[in-house]
Amino acid sequence: WILTRNYKALAKGTRGSTSGFLNIVMELKKCCNHCYLIKAPEENERENGQEVLQSLVRSSGKLILLDKLLTRLRERGNRVLIFSQMVRMLDILAEYLTIKHYPFQ
């Protein structure tokens, strides 16, 4: 979707503006982190915490892996430090941690 939407800019190649390419790269970086960074989910009042959690985790391969890792690390009593360059990704992680009842700062 990102590439087809920006086909004209990509077709110009090196003749196009570099800022256009940087915007496309940023969109691809967002896509690699979590699809909610590109398009937020529609609000559904009927969803409970577990449904929101499943939707949140299933929408990102990285979050699927993180969910499995955090479960194992919590069982062992380990602490975790997570870095991200995107504040919105940290917001998604905060929502995930809140639903899972994991303490965080």
pLDDT band at 23 (very low <50, low <70, confident <90, very high): confident
Cβ atoms of 74 and 66 within 8 Å: the answer is: no
Cβ atoms of 55 and 41 within 8 Å: the answer is: yes
pLDDT band at 11 (very low <50, low <70, confident <90, very high): low
User: How far is the C-alpha of 23 from the C-alpha of 6, rounded, in Å?
Assistant: 10
| CA 59, 60, 64, 70 torsion-angle sign | negative
pTM for this predicted structure: 0.71
Per-chain mean pLDDT for the chain: 80
Cβ atoms of 86 and 30 within 8 Å: the answer is: yes
Residue 77, SS3 per DSSP: coil
pLDDT (tens digit per residue) in 28-70 = 777 777 777 777 776 665 467 788 888 888 888 889 999 999 9
